[in-house]
Chains A and B, each alone.
Chain A
Amino acid sequence: MNANSEILCDSYKKQNWIKKLFLYFVILLLIVAMAVGISIGASGLGPWDVLSSLIKDTGRNHSIVWMLRLPRVIMAAIVGFGLGLAGAVFQAILRNPLASPFTLGIGSGAGFGAVTVILFFGGGFQTYLIASGAFLFSLISAFLILVVAKMKRASSETMILTGIAQMFLFSSLTSLFQYMGTMEQIQEVVFWFFGSLSKAGWREIGLASAMVLIPFPMLLRHAWDFNLLSAGDESALALGVDVSRLRMSSVVAASLMTAGCICFTGVIGFVGLVSPHITRMVIGSDHRFLLPTSGLVGAVVVVAADILGRTLWAPHVIPIGIVTSFIGVPFFFYLLVKRSKEYW
């Protein structure tokens, strides 16, 4: 029996090792994608120029690399990571494959916040003002979900329904405001909903990464709790998880992440939904691996989408939010049809 037990333990460890391997693979992929991302640009600065500009101060090239390309690529990675991770968290705590920062209305809340600022405080469309509006309203929408959940014992169904109701509410408010706006404002709103990485500088990166990376350890610490939650609230409760508290704190953390990401870049859809699914299809749903890997997959998707958006029709830039959906949806369909197990 002991020998057999050893075999069992070993095969479990082997599975984990494979998961870890995939995690490393995605990290590698991200590094490659980011390297490609900073080697490509309108000015035709190749990889070697970039390398030499990274090290020594060569004026114009140095500025291009340090002020334009690096911030863009790093912001893409952070936003992708945040959205992918937040999506995995939402799907875990709500035990629902449709959950994502956007289906919960947090994206719509952010959009509404941005539109409000563009319309009513918009003198000059200052990035920070818009970002604050988006941030504030995404937290308001997360808070609304929490309030309703608190009243109705935080069941996942209640939260999802609240999210969907909210999504419709904020979308229609956004449309109303848009209807009231001038052409200039409408244009700004439309472009905000496309998502953009051009406006990201180092300061935005600092803020966004703080909001993504600070809640990350807390979420990772609860990885086992998320695992337990996937077998149902009651099992999780019986195994010592304070389910409502976990759900509340995770919604707050994941909403912060979402808000921190999209307030600077506008709507980058689909990453939050699709990254956890892609990851789960490959490595299953042990959240110790799923959470970081889903974030990294999201980062790869956004960095790659930005590269495509900048190169496919250069010098036109296809907005990032459009590209993520364009490459994300067919790939997602492919996986849906191809996969053998139906986890969801």
Chain B
Amino acid sequence: MLQVIDLFFDYGSTRILEGIGARIEGGRVLSVVGPNGAGKTTLLKCIVRILKLARGSILIEDRDATCISRRELAKYLGYVPQNMPAKIPMTVFEMVLTGRKPYLSWRPSEQDLWITANILHEMDIQDLAMRDVEQLSGGQAQKVLLARALAQEPRYLLLDEPTSNLDLRHQLEVLDMIATLVKNKGIGAMMAMHDLNLAARFSDTILMLKEGKVFSIGTPSEVITPKNIREVYGVEVAVRRDNGYPHIQALHCVIDHSDSD
């Protein structure tokens, strides 16, 4: 279990995250939602220690994450960035192999190669293996980044808007893949998500942020309510239930009367 306890983060003098608490459990998906600038990405980056938190603690299997070396931490946490950085002079195989970095010294072992190859197969991207990373389409690139994170053999995956650059088909494909991985491998996943409907459909828990604070946390049905969405996003929505998942339909923006009240 990965626990985030009372986490604060400041960017310069601006407070970005304030008292965040959350927990990720193996085999379950937690989605972080919230409007732009609510701090979704920042929260993820704080957990993988790309950003240094100002206060609070992160416990991984009850160990204080700040006491774990970066290399050790990379064996627990796999991070999938939002975009493939431009112009990486590597093949897909090499890129995925870099996910083995926390385990290897200088020369990758047979086992490292084996794991890499298997992941490519599992994700059905073995045909891309010797292709250059920069020739990939958005969907392929997203899968390669995911594959790299899986090569770390992490207990937890942190995904930063994994569907943001994808078309409808690839969105579903990638999220299905994540859901399968989580179920089959018992990995715990935390995703920053924009699309509330997708988040509702693929998550066990939803954490809704507003201006750097936890606004609501719970099952999709508990969190995705017209009231919460009006408060957080300022949008009037209708929520239907669709195959057991809440589904929203945006109606119109809320005109803010708070000042005149």
B8 at the interface (CB under 8 A from A): no
Considering the complex, which residues of chain A in the window 217-234 have a beta carbon less than 8 Å from any beta carbon of chain B?
Answer: 221, 223-225, 227-228, 230-234
B177 at the interface (CB under 8 A from A): no
Tell me the minimal C-beta distance from A246 to chain B in angstroms. 11
Which B-chain residue is minimally distant from A284 (CB atoms)? B89
Known pairs A11-B93, A237-B70, A239-B79; list 20 more (Cβ under 8 Å).
A4-B117, A5-B121, A8-B116, A8-B117, A8-B120, A9-B113, A11-B129, A223-B106, A230-B88, A235-B79, A235-B85, A238-B50, A238-B77, A238-B81, A240-B69, A240-B71, A240-B101, A241-B101, A288-B106, A288-B107
Which B-chain residue is minimally distant from A6 (CB atoms)? B117
Which residues of the partner chain A approach B72 to less than 8 Å between Cβ atoms?
Answer: 240
B99 at the interface (CB under 8 A from A): yes
Contact A285 B89 (CB under 8 A): yes
Which residues of the partner chain A approach B107 to less than 8 Å between Cβ atoms?
Answer: 288
Q: How many residues of A contact B (CB 8 A)?
A: 37
Contacting residue for A12 out of B93, B98, B102, CB 8 A: B93
Contact A13 B118 (CB under 8 A): no
Considering the complex, which residues of chain B in the window 182-233 have a beta carbon less than 8 Å from any beta carbon of chain A?
Answer: none
Contact B94 A227 (CB under 8 A): yes
Contact A280 B120 (CB under 8 A): no
Q: Pick 5 A–B contacts, CB within 8 A, sort by A.
A: A5-B117, A227-B90, A238-B48, A240-B74, A284-B90
**Could you tell me the distance between the alpha carbons of A8 and B117 in the complex, rounded to whole angstroms?**
6
Listed stretches A180-188, A203-211, A302-310, A336-344; interface member = A336-344
Which residues of the partner chain A approach B152 to less than 8 Å between Cβ atoms?
Answer: 239
B87 at the interface (CB under 8 A from A): yes
Contact B89 A280 (CB under 8 A): yes
Contact B118 A1 (CB under 8 A): yes
Contact A285 B90 (CB under 8 A): yes
Contact A242 B79 (CB under 8 A): no
Task: Report how many A-B pairs have Cβ atoms within 8 Å.
Answer: 113
- With A8-B129, A12-B93: A239-B102 Cβ-Cβ less than 8 Å: yes
Which residues of the partner chain B approach A232 to less than 8 Å between Cβ atoms?
Answer: 81, 85
Contact B87 A13 (CB under 8 A): no
Residues on A close to B: CB < 8 A?
1, 4-6, 8-9, 11-13, 15, 221, 223-225, 227-228, 230-235, 237-242, 280, 284-286, 288, 341-344
**Could you tell me the distance between the alpha carbons of A221 and B82 in the complex, rounded to whole angstroms?**
29
Considering the complex, which residues of chain B in the window 117-153 have a beta carbon less than 8 Å from any beta carbon of chain A?
Answer: 117-118, 120-121, 126, 129-130, 132, 134, 152
Which residues of the partner chain A approach B23 to less than 8 Å between Cβ atoms?
Answer: none
B170 at the interface (CB under 8 A from A): no
Size category of the binding interface on chain B? 35 or more
**Could you tell me the distance between the alpha carbons of A9 and B95 in the complex, rounded to whole angstroms?**
14
Contact B101 A11 (CB under 8 A): no
B91 at the interface (CB under 8 A from A): yes
Which B-chain residue is minimally distant from A228 (CB atoms)? B98
User: Interface readout for B29-67 with A: 1 if CB under 8 Å, 0 if not?
Assistant: 000000000000000010011100000000000000000
- With A1-B121, A231-B85, A232-B81: A237-B49 Cβ-Cβ less than 8 Å: yes
Which residues of the partner chain B approach A284 to less than 8 Å between Cβ atoms?
Answer: 89-91, 94
Tell me the minimal C-beta distance from A254 to chain B in angstroms. 19
Contact B74 A344 (CB under 8 A): no
B73 at the interface (CB under 8 A from A): yes
Max count, chain B CB within 10 A of own CB: residue among A5, A238, A242, A341: A238
Tell me the minimal C-beta distance from B86 to chain A in angstroms. 9
Which B-chain residue is minimally distant from A9 (CB atoms)? B113
Contact A231 B118 (CB under 8 A): no
B253 at the interface (CB under 8 A from A): no
Contact A240 B50 (CB under 8 A): no
Which A-chain residue is minimally distant from B103 (CB atoms)? A240
Tell me the minimal C-beta distance from B152 to chain A in angstroms. 7
Tell me the minimal C-beta distance from B159 to chain A in angstroms. 12
Contacting residue for B81 out of A8, A9, A235, A341, CB 8 A: A235
Contact B126 A4 (CB under 8 A): yes
- With A8-B120, A288-B106: A238-B89 Cβ-Cβ less than 8 Å: no
B104 at the interface (CB under 8 A from A): yes
Tell me the minimal C-beta distance from A55 to chain B in angstroms. 39
Contacting residue for A342 out of B85, B87, B90, CB 8 A: B87
**Could you tell me the distance between the alpha carbons of A288 and B70 in the complex, rounded to whole angstroms?**
22
